[in-house]
Structure 1
Amino acid sequence: MKLLFSFVLTIIIFISCSKSDTSKSVNPNSKLYFPLNDGSEWETIDFLSLDWNDNALPNLYDHLETNGTRAFIVLKSGKIVLEKYWGNNILNNSNFDINSMWYWASAGKTLTAALVGIAQQDGYLNINDKTSDYLGKGWTSMSTEKEDLITIKNQLTMTSGLNYNIPDLVCTEPLCLEYKSDAGTQWFYHNAPYTLLEEVVSNSTGINYNLYTDQKIESIIGMDGYWITSGFNNVYWSSARDMARFGLLILNKGNWNGIKILHDENYYNQMVNSSQDLNPSYGYLWWLNGKSSIIFPVLSASFDISLSANAPSDLIVAMGKNGQFVDISPSQSLVVIRMGEAPNENALPIEFHDEMWEKLNLVRNIKN
C-alpha cells in the first residue's frame, strides 16, 4: 500500500504540473457518421484536412508502441482519423489487427452501466430499488437492516458501504461482503458489488447477460463482443473497432443513427455526470474529467485534482486495468480508443493516459 500511495503522489505531481486542453469547442450537434453494422465500411478523414500536425504523429505512435499498445483509434464525428495496430494478438500467434479480440477489463463496467439503464427504461428494475430485491436476502453477510440500505444506484456509484479492508475485493460470496459504513456514506472502488450488477440485470430480465448485451446493444450497433467469466469476474472482450462503436453510441447519448437504444435522458445524464459528492469524478461506472477532486481506485483519500489535465475538460472515460480506455469528448466530437498491455508496472496507468493526451494534442495542434 505504501508503494501504491507513492505512485499516486507521483501522478498528482505530474498531472498538477500539466496544463489543460485549451482547444475550442465544436458544435456538439454536428452530424455524426455511423459505420455500417456488417463492418464492411468505416469512412475515414484525412487528418491533414483537419489542420492536424503530421510531424507530431511519429512521436505519438512511438509513445504508444513503446508502452505496450496493441490498438489505437481516434474518431472525429464518427469517422476514423487515426487507426494503428502493433504487436501480436492475445495468443501471440499472429499480428494484432482490426479483427483481434482484447479484454476491456474495468472499461467494461461502462457497458454494464448502459445495460442497467436499458433494463430500467424497459421496466425490469429501478436503480433506487434495494439490491436484495434481485439478489435475495443474505447476498451479503450484513444484518438485514444494513443490507437493505444498498440500492442498485449504490452499486453503480461505488457507494455500497462494504468493507474494503479484506483480502479479495473481487470476491462476490456473502462472507466477503461485510459491513463497513452505511450505503451512500463512503466511496471506494470495490469490484464485487459492481460484478453483482450483472446478476441483478439477468435476474430482473430473465435473460442471460451475454444474450441481453447482444439483443440490446451489440446487434443494433454492429458489435461482436462477448462476456467471459474468469473466477469472480465477468470480463468483456471485443475488437478495438467494436470498442469504438460503443464510444460512438455514448457520444451520441445512447442513440445509434436514429435508433434510440438508451433513450432515458435522465439516466444518461446521471451516468455521465457526478453521481455523488464523495467522488465527483465518478458517474455511473464512468470516470469524469474536469472535476474539483478525485478518489483513485484502491485508495480512500480524496485529492484536489482532476483525472487528466491534458485531456478535454468534458472527457468521460471508460478505464480498465493495463490501460484499456474509451475516451469521449462531446465538445470535440472525439472518441479515442486504446487497447494493450500495461505501459508500466502500475495497475491503472493514469500517468500514461495523460501523456497520451499531451502527445495527441500536439497532433491536433492544440496549445498546452
Structure 2
Amino acid sequence: MKRLYFLPLIVTVLLFNCSKDEPVENDTLYFPPINSETWETKSIADLGWNESELQPLLDFLEEKNTKSFMILYNGRIVREDYFNGHSKTASWYWASAGKTLTTAVSGIAQEEGLININNKVSDYLGTGWTSAPLAKENLITCKNLLSMNSGLDDSLGDDVSPSNLQYVADAGTRWAYHNVYVKMQDVVAAASNQTWNSYFNTKLRDKIGMNGLWVNLGDLSVYGSNTRSMARFGLMISAKGKWENTQIVPEAFLNEATNTSQNINKAYGYLWWLNGKSTYHLPQTQIEFNGELIPNAPADMYAALGKNDQKIYIVPSKKLVIIRMGDAGDGENFALSTFDNDLWGKISALID
C-alpha cells in the first residue's frame, strides 16, 4: 500500500516533463469582438518566423504603393501596417476583391430558401435581362454568373443593361471575366424583396462587425471599407463561414465557392481565385496558361483579387489571412498581377 503514496508524485513529474517538451499554446481560433477596436495579437517571435525577413517585406510593400497590410494567424493580428499616409480608420475600395462579398451573400440567400443558384437568372429577374435569344438567355443560371461562364460578350465594357449583354456562346461553354456577375445582387434583392444594401448589411456586414458601404461608380458596384473590415471578412471565410458560434455563410456552399466551379478555368470558384491548379485563365483573354496562379504562394491558398492589387489571401494550411490595400504595385491590372508572386516571395521568406 505504501507504493500508492508515490502515485501523485509520479503523475506530477510526467505532466511536468510533457509540458516542458511539448508546450501547450493557446492556439484556438480567435474572433475580435463586434463593435470594438479590441483585437488580440500574436508576435512573429511566438510563431517562430524569420524576423530578419520582416523589414525587407515592409520595404517592398511601401515601395509598391501599398496603403495597408495585415497578417492574421488563427484570427490574431501578427502585423498591421499602414503606409503612404493611410491609417487604421481610412477607407479604401475593394474593387473586384469585393466580388466575393456577393458570393457570400448569395450563399446566405440560398440557405434561407430565397434563391437556388442552379435556377436560371430569369426566374428572378424576368426574361429580357439580356439581348440574347430567349432560349440562350434561359440557359444562364445564377451559378453561371458566380462562375464567370455566362457565355455573354465580355468585350463590350461593364454596362450590364440588356442591350450590352449579348450572346457569344452557350452558358457553361466559355469562361470570361465579366461585370455581369453584379446581376446576382439584383437577384438577391428581388428574391428578398429588399434593397441589396439592406440585405447585405443585415445578413453579413453587421453580423461580423464590418464597416463600409457599396458605391455605384458608373456601371460598377464597388465596396469600400477600412482594412480591418476586410480582415474580418477574410477571417469569417477562413473559419468556414462562421463567426464565433454563428454560421453566417453555409460551410457546404463555401466549399463549393472555393473549389473549381467549372471545367474551363480550374483556378476559379464562385468569384474566388484558387491557387495550386495546373492551369488558369486571366481576364480579357481566352488563353489557357499552364502552371499555378501564384507559384510562390502555398498550393491551398485562395484569394479575392481586385483591380490595382486589392488582395485577400486565405491559406488554410498555415491558418493565415493576409490583406493588402493600395494602388497598383506594378501597373494597372484587373486581378492577378506580377505583384502577387513577388509579394508572396517576401511573405514566404518571413513565414517559412
Show CA shifts across 1:236-263 (max 9, x none): 0111100000000000110000111112
Structure with greater Cα Rg? 2
Q: Output the amino acid matched with 1:78.
A: G
Distance 1:60 1:229 in 2: 34
The residue number in structure 2 matching 1:74 is 71
The residue number in structure 2 matching 1:111 is 101
Q: Which moved more, 1:287-296 or 1:44-53?
A: 44-53
The residue number in structure 2 matching 1:43 is 40
1:331 aligned counterpart, secondary structure: helix
Distance 2:36 2:322 in 1: 19
Selected match of 1:226 from 190, 213, 221: 213
State the 1:317 CA deviation.
Answer: 0.2
Residue 143 (structure 1) aligned with residue 152 (structure 2): no
The residue number in structure 1 matching 2:23 is none
State the 1:278 CA deviation.
Answer: 0.3
Selected match of 1:130 from 105, 109, 120: 120
Selected match of 2:204 from 180, 201, 217: 217
The residue number in structure 1 matching 2:178 is 190
- The answer on whether the counterparts of 2:241 and 2:247 sit within 8 Å (CA) in structure 1 is yes
State the 1:217 CA deviation.
Answer: 1.2
2:46 aligned counterpart, secondary structure: helix
State the 1:346 CA deviation.
Answer: 3.2
Distance 2:68 2:193 in 1: 35
Distance 2:311 2:37 in 1: 24
Distance 2:76 2:95 in 1: 25
Residue 180 (structure 1) aligned with residue 181 (structure 2): no
Distance 2:51 2:36 in 1: 28
Q: Output the amino acid matched with 2:41.
A: T
The residue number in structure 1 matching 2:144 is 154
1:336 aligned counterpart, secondary structure: strand
Show CA shifts across 1:208-256 (max 9, x none): 1111111111111110111011111110011110000000000011000
Distance 2:296 2:176 in 1: 25
The residue number in structure 1 matching 2:255 is 269
Q: Equivalent residues in 2 for 1:44-63 (5 A)?
A: 44-63=41-60
Taking structure 1 as the reference length, the TM-score comes to: 0.87
1:127 aligned counterpart, secondary structure: coil
Distance 1:130 1:178 in 2: 17
Q: Output the amino acid matched with 1:181.
A: A
Selected match of 1:171 from 153, 159, 163: 159
State the 1:363 CA deviation.
Answer: 1.3
Distance 1:363 1:142 in 2: 51
Q: Output the amino acid matched with 2:151.
A: G
Q: Output the amino acid matched with 2:144.
A: N
The residue number in structure 1 matching 2:242 is 255
Q: Output the amino acid matched with 2:183.
A: L
State the 1:267 CA deviation.
Answer: 1.5
Higher RCO, 1 vs 2 (CA within 8 Å, ≥6 residues apart): 1
Q: Output the amino acid matched with 1:160.
A: S
Show CA shifts across 1:23-48 (max 9, x none): xxxxxxx6210001122200111111
Unaligned runs of 5+ in 2: 1-26
Q: Output the amino acid matched with 1:178.
A: Q
Q: Please, what is the CA RMSD of the aligned residues?
A: 1.0
State the 1:359 CA deviation.
Answer: 0.5
Residue 99 (structure 1) aligned with residue 86 (structure 2): no
Show CA shifts across 1:296-355 (max 9, x none): 111111111111111111011000000000000111100000000011223145211111
State the 1:165 CA deviation.
Answer: 3.3
The residue number in structure 1 matching 2:62 is 65
Residue 359 (structure 1) aligned with residue 346 (structure 2): yes
The residue number in structure 1 matching 2:20 is none
Unaligned runs of 5+ in 1: 1-29, 89-95
Q: Output the amino acid matched with 1:310.
A: N
Distance 2:246 2:252 in 1: 18
Q: Output the amino acid matched with 1:124.
A: L
Show CA shifts across 1:138-180 (max 9, x none): 11111111100000000000000012233x2x11111111111
The residue number in structure 1 matching 2:268 is 282
Distance 1:226 1:173 in 2: 23
The residue number in structure 1 matching 2:331 is 345
Taking structure 2 as the reference length, the TM-score comes to: 0.90
